[in-house]
Amino acid sequence: MPGEASVTVASIPALLAALADDSIGEVVVEDGTYHVSPASDQKPDSLWIGEQFADRTHPVTVRAETRGGVTFDGGGAGYFGCISFEQGVHDQTWDGFDCANGVATQTGVVTFGGLGTSSPGSPSHITMRDITVLASCQGSSQSATAPTLDHAFYIADAAGQGPHDLSFENISVDGRGGLASAFQFFHSALGAPNASNVTITGLDVVGTQEAIILADPTLRNITIESATITNALLYAVYYETTGAQGIVLSHVTSTGSGSGRGFFSAQGPSPPGIVFSDTSLH
């Protein structure tokens, strides 16, 4: 039956070939370390999940043989994108992978959107579960005052509805290699909004400059629940936007923020568009 077959693969090209096959509903990646070229290079071993996969009509799960048993290794590459979801891809679950060894230069280790209206479609209905971004994923934010450029998860503009219906479950980010944030939501354009209907649950972050950055007026219905943030160099949560709606922080705890403040907005401690529920931000 379409979308029901399960295959096991042991290379990135084999993973991509299986992902493009609409008869396959599960792709199991054998445990091991796999070199990946930067996603935006769109090489045979790049995890650029774009237009060629958008025509799938059945949901698909890509999972590690053992959660945490598969590492996507950038080999020290600059402009390192471990995985990018673009161009209308939809109904995918990625489960149990580590990203390692690359420099997220002015982008994210994992990206959603960022192509504006120049590319068809928005990534949607994507779940990422038990994903770890290791400290060997590096950036330029080695201090509280360094430029805020290089991120673990970078969510940006996309044509149409913008990235939407995204779920992140049990995400771990070690930012001590200089990552600016675990999650940044930034940038939109006419006809290409930022994200809507996003849930982040079970987030664990250490050592980023700022763990969560919410900085776009088109954001709608973003819920961050059950997050633990430790030793952010500046703030744990940075909220700087006018017009965002439905932002919820629930059971979010931060300790050791370098500025002494776990939350910052120039609009004050309770800015419009955001609701706090059982948070402790320090």
Tell me what pLDDT residue 158 has.
96
Q: Output the average pLDDT for the chain.
A: 96
| Phi, psi torsion values for 107, nearest 5 degrees | -160, -155
Tell me what pLDDT residue 120 has.
86
| Cα distance between residue 69 and residue 33, in whole Å | 8
Kindly report, residue by residue over 83-95, the tens digit of the pLDDT.
Answer: 999 999 999 999 9
Q: Percent of the chain having pLDDT more than 90?
A: 96
Give the mean model confidence (pLDDT) for residues 204-220: 98
Tell me what pLDDT residue 117 has.
83
Is the confidence at residue 254, as pLDDT, over 70? yes
Quick check: 151 and 110 in contact, CB under 8 A? Answer: no
pTM of the model: 0.97
